[in-house]
């Protein structure tokens, strides 16, 4: 968690993210990789939040 100060206000910043990497060969594979990254995002949120989850795509 990171705290940011804007004027006299302080905000806590929380970030969860998901990613995959690989080499898509077709538009359908690109969309599938996006779905895989989205799945990883929700995995981050379900686990603890404030984390990044990811890894190789099945199109690696």
Q: What is the mean pLDDT of residues 27-32?
A: 96
Question: What is the C-alpha to C-alpha distance for residues 14 and 36, in angstroms, rounded to an integer?
Answer: 22
Percent of the chain with pLDDT over 90: 58
Per residue in 1-24, pLDDT (tens digit) is 677 788 888 888 888 999 999 999
Helix, strand, coil percentages (3-state) for the chain, rounded to 5, are: 35, 35, 30
| Average pLDDT taken over every residue of the chain | 90
Beta carbons of 23 and 60 less than 8 angstroms apart: yes
Looking at residue 15, its pLDDT comes to: 87
Q: What is the mean pLDDT of residues 21-45?
A: 95
Q: What is the mean pLDDT of residues 22-50?
A: 93
């Amino acid at each position: 968690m990171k705290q940011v100060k804007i004027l006299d206000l302080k905000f806590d910043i929380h970030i969860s993210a998901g990613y995959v990497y690989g080499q898509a060969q077709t538009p359908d594979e690109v969309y599938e990789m996006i779905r895989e990254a989205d799945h990883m995002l929700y995995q981050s949120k379900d686990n603890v939040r404030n984390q990044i989850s990811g890894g190789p795509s099945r199109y690696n």
